[in-house]
């Protein structure tokens, strides 16, 4: 894997650690990034770790990833439930492998979280495993 894996985080994920820890856990996004960096070092790959609260920025990054990355891990936050723009961007980036991650089990929560716009165009999804989901997704990408 010569190109980096892009790890993209959507809205409100910069608040991890303080935000509803009973649902999302006490791990900060910085700590998740450190775990991913350590996993990447041990696996001989590189990563590009980013967060934004803006939907269009995620679209720009997916378009960039189509050229500049070997795969994408995305926690789209709430945009995962609503964004046709993200669905289309991932579709247009094919055959780029994309893994959707959610810290919480979105299917065990409110009905409005049960739909994912990303899942139909993702290679796979990991949800409900907390911060561990990110390194599990990295492991999956390395093996794919």
Q: Which residues of 60-85 are buried (b: 16+ CB within 10 A; e: fewer)?
A: ebbeebbeebbbbbbbbbebbbebee
Note whether 113 binds ligand DQA by CB under 6 A.
yes
Q: In the complex, what is the shortest distance from the CB of residue 80 to ligand DQA, in angstroms, rounded to a whole number?
A: 6
Selected from 27, 51, 70, 75, the binder of ligand DQA by CB under 6 A is: 75
Selected from 36, 51, 72, 102, the binder of ligand DQA by CB under 6 A is: 102
Q: Is 114 designated active site? A: no
Pair 69, 4: CB distance under 8 Å: yes
Rounded CA separation 45/88 (Å): 27
Q: Is 102 designated active site? A: yes
Catalytic residue, chosen from 24, 79, 87, 134, is 24
Give backbone dihedrals phi and psi of 115, rounded to 5 degrees, phi first. -95, 135
Catalytic residue, chosen from 54, 102, 107, 114, is 102
4 CB-contact burial (10 Å; exposed 0-12 / middle 13-18 / buried 19+):
middle
Note whether 70 binds ligand DQA by CB under 6 A.
no
Note whether 104 binds ligand DQA by CB under 6 A.
yes
Whether the link from the prior residue into 95 is cis, omega within 30° of 0, is: yes
Q: In the complex, what is the shortest distance from the CB of residue 50 to ligand DQA, in angstroms, rounded to a whole number?
A: 15
Q: In the complex, what is the shortest distance from the CB of residue 12 to ligand DQA, in angstroms, rounded to a whole number?
A: 5
List the one residue out of 49, 131, 134 whose CA is nearest residue 100: 134
Residues that bind ligand DQA (CB under 6 A): 12, 75, 77-78, 80, 102-104, 106, 113
Kindly list the catalytic residues.
24, 102
């Amino acid at each position: 894997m010569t190109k980096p894996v892009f790890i993209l985080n959507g809205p409100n994920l910069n608040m991890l650690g303080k935000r509803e820890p009973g649902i999302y856990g006490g791990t900060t996004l910085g700590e998740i990034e450190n775990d991913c960096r350590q996993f990447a070092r041990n696996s001989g790959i590189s990563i590009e770790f980013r967060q934004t609260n803006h939907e269009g920025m995620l679209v720009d990054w997916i378009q960039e990833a189509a050229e500049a990355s070997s795969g994408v891990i995305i926690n789209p936050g709430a945009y995962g439930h609503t964004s046709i723009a993200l669905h289309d961007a991932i579709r247009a980036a094919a055959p780029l492998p994309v893994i959707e991650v959610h810290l919480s089990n979105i299917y065990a929560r409110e009905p409005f979280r049960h739909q994912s716009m990303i899942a139909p165009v993702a290679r796979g999804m990991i949800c409900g495993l907390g911060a561990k989901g990110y390194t599990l997704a990295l492991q999956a990408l390395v093996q794919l």
